[in-house]
Amino acid sequence: MPLRSKSLAGITALVASLLLGSCGTAGEEVCDSPLVSNLPPSSFRSSSQLSSSHGPVYAKVNRREGAGGWSPAISDRYQWLEVDLGRRTQITAAASQGRYGSSDWLTAYLLMFSDTGHNWRQHRQEDSFGAFPGNTNADTVVQYKLQQPVIARYLRLIPLDWNPSGRIGLRLEIYGCQYTSDVANFDGGSSVIYRLSVRPSQTVISLKFKTLKNSGTLLHAEGRRSHSLTLVLEKGRLLLYHQQGVSSSSAGQLLVSLGSLLDDQHWHEVKMERLSTHLNLTVDKNTQQVHIPAELSHWDIHRLSLGAVQSPGLQKPILSNRNFHGCLENLLYNDINLINLAKRSNPQVTVLGNVTFSCAEPVSVTVTFTDSQSFLQLPGLTAWSSGSVSIALQFRTWNKEGLLLTFNLLRQQGAAWLFLREARLHLQINKAAADLLELSAGSGLNDGQWHSVELNARQDHLSITVDKDEGATAHIDVPVPLTDGRLFFGGCPESSPECQNPFKVFQGCMRLLTLNNRTVDLIKVQQRLLGSYSHLQIDMCGIIDRCSPSHCEHGGKCTQSWSTFHCNCSNSGYRGATCHSSSYEQSCEAYKHKGNTSGHYYIDVDGSGPIKPLLVYCNMTDRAWMVIQHNNTELTRLHSSPETHQYSAHFDYASEEEQLAAIISQSEHCEQELSYFCRKSRLLNTPEGVPLSWWMGGPGPGQVQTYWAGALPASRQCACSLQDNCLDSNHFCNCDADSDQWTNDSGLLTHKETLPVRSLILGDIQRPGSEAAYEVGPLRCHGDKNFWNAASFDKETSYLHFPTFHGELNADISFLFKTTSSSGVFLENLGIKDFIRIELSSSFEVLFSFDVGNGPLAVRVLTSVPLNDNRWHSVRAERNVKEASLCVDELPFAAQEAPSDGHIHLQLNSQLFIGGTASRQKGFLGCIRSLQLNGVTLDLEERARITPGVRPGCPGHCSSYDSLCQNQGRCEERANGFSCDCSGSAYTGAFCHKELSASFMSTTSLAYILKEPSEVSRNSSALPSSVYSETTLRGENFSLSFRTGQAPALLLYVTSLSREYLVLLINKHGELELRYKLHSSREAEVFASSVMNLADGRLHTVAVRRLADIVSIQVDQNARENFNLTTDVEFNSIKSIILGRVYESEELDAELNTLASLGFTGCLSAVRFNSVSPLKAALLHHDSPVTITGPLVQSSCASSSSANPYAAETTHSLSDQPASVDPGQPLVNAIRSDSALIGGVIAVVIFATVSALAIMTRFICSKKGTYRNQEVKAAQPDDGHEFPFSSQPDSQRAPSENQKEYFI
Minimum mean pLDDT among 245-259, 275-289, 899-913, 987-1001: which range? 245-259
pLDDT tens per residue, range 748-783: 999 999 999 999 999 898 888 899 999 999 999 999
Q: How many CA atoms lie within 13 A of 316 on its CB side?
A: 12
Asked if 1128 and 1058 touch (Cβ cutoff 8 Å), the reply is no
Band of pLDDT at residue 826, cut at 50, 70 and 90: very high
What integer is the mean pLDDT of 839-863? Answer: 94
pLDDT at position 1302, please?
36
How far is residue 108's CA from residue 1010's CA, in Å, rounded to a whole number? 89
Query: What pLDDT was estimated at residue 321?
Result: 62
Q: Dmax over Cα atoms in the chain, in whole Å?
A: 130
Interval 964-1022: pLDDT, tens: 999 989 999 888 888 899 988 999 988 998 888 999 999 999 999 985 434 333 333 33
- Range 150-173 average pLDDT: 96
Q: How high is the pLDDT of residue 1267?
A: 35
pLDDT of 1040 reads: 94
pLDDT at residue 1295 above 60? no
- Listed in order, strand segments (DSSP E) in 1152-1213 are 1162-1169, 1186-1189, 1192-1195
CA distance 1143 to 1283: 44
- Predicted confidence (pLDDT) at residue 1220 exceeds the cutoff of 90: no
The pLDDT value given to residue 433: 61
- Residue of 359, 427, 429, 425 lying closest to 397 (CA atoms): 425
Please, which pLDDT band fits residue 480 given cuts at 50, 70 and 90? low
- Of the pLDDT bands very low, low, confident and very high (cuts 50, 70, 90), residue 811 is very high
Tell me: pLDDT of 1296 over 60: no
pLDDT for the residue numbered 725: 92
Alpha-carbon separation of residue 682 from 712, 771, 772 (angstroms): 19, 10, 9
Q: DSSP label at 412?
A: G
Task: Tell me the CB-side half-sphere exposure of residue 1283, using CA atoms within 13 A.
Answer: 16
Examine the pLDDT at 1255 and tell me if it is beyond 60.
no
Higher-pLDDT residue of 114 and 1198 is 114
DSSP 997-1036: EEEE-TT-EEEEEPPPPS---SS-SSPPSS--TTPEESEE
pLDDT at residue 1293 in the model: 41
pLDDT score at 1146: 72
Q: Using CB atoms within 10 A of its CB, is residue 164 exposed (0-12), middle (13-18) or buried (19+)?
A: exposed
Q: 707 pLDDT band (50/70/90 cuts)?
A: very high
The per-residue pLDDT for 4 is 41
Cα-Cα-Cα-Cα torsion 464, 467, 468, 471, nearest 10 degrees, comes to -70
pLDDT at position 1203 is 37
Q: How confident is the model at residue 14 (pLDDT cuts 50, 70, 90)?
A: very low
Q: Which of 1007, 1041, 1039, 1009 is nearest to 1026 (CA)?
A: 1009
What distance lies between CA 1260 and its chain's CA centroid? 61
Residues 6+ apart with CB under 8 A from 464: 418, 425, 427, 439, 441, 453, 454, 455, 456, 473, 474, 475
1270 vs 1193, residue with greater confidence:
1193
Report pLDDT for 200.
66
Q: Which whole number is the average pLDDT over 898-910?
A: 86
Question: Is a pLDDT exceeding 90 seen at residue 462?
Answer: no
Least confident of 58-67, 651-660, 998-1007, 1207-1216: 1207-1216
At residue 414, the pLDDT reads 82
Exposed, middle or buried, 1124 (CB in 10 Å: 0-12/13-18/19+)? exposed
Band (pLDDT 50/70/90 cuts) for residue 1073 is very high
- With a cut of 80, say whether residue 15 has pLDDT above it: no
In this predicted structure, which of 116-120, 310-314, 989-993, 1197-1201 has the lowest mean pLDDT? 310-314
Sign of the alpha-carbon torsion through 599, 601, 605, 611: positive
State residue 1196's pLDDT score: 83
With 0-12 / 13-18 / 19 or more C-beta atoms within 10 angstroms meaning exposed / middle / buried, residue 592 is buried
From CA 555, how far away is CA 1144, in angstroms rounded?
71
Residue 316 pLDDT: 57
> CB-hemisphere CA count at 13 Å for 1104?
28
pLDDT of residue 751: 95
Give me the chain's average pLDDT, please: 84
- For 185-194, 594-603, 736-745, 1289-1298, which range has the lowest pLDDT when averaged over its residues? 1289-1298
**DSSP code of residue 1212:** -
Quick: pLDDT tens for 393-442: 999 999 999 999 998 887 767 888 999 999 999 999 887 766 678 889 99
| pLDDT at residue 1060 is higher than 60 | yes
Mean pLDDT (whole number) for 1264-1283: 38
The percent of residues in the chain predicted with pLDDT above 90, rounded, is 60
Asked if residue 13 has pLDDT above 90, the reply is: no
pLDDT digits (tens, 9 = 90+) for 344-382: 999 999 999 999 999 988 888 999 999 999 999 999 876
Please report the pLDDT score of residue 1082 as a whole number. 85
User: Which residues on adjacent β-strands are paired with residue 971?
Assistant: 980
pLDDT class of 311 with cuts at 50, 70, 90? low
Tens-digit pLDDT profile for residues 1162-1214: 999 999 999 899 999 999 887 889 999 999 888 888 775 433 333 333 333 33
Is the distance from CB of 426 to CB of 443 less than 8 angstroms?
no
What pLDDT is recorded for position 131? 84
pLDDT over 50 (residue 1279): no
Per DSSP, what are the bridge partners of residue 82?
Answer: 45, 156
Residue 832: CB atoms within 10 A of its CB come to 10
Q: What b-and-e string marks burial along 966-985, b requiring 16 or more CB atoms within 10 Å of the CB?
A: bbbbebeeeeebbbbebebb
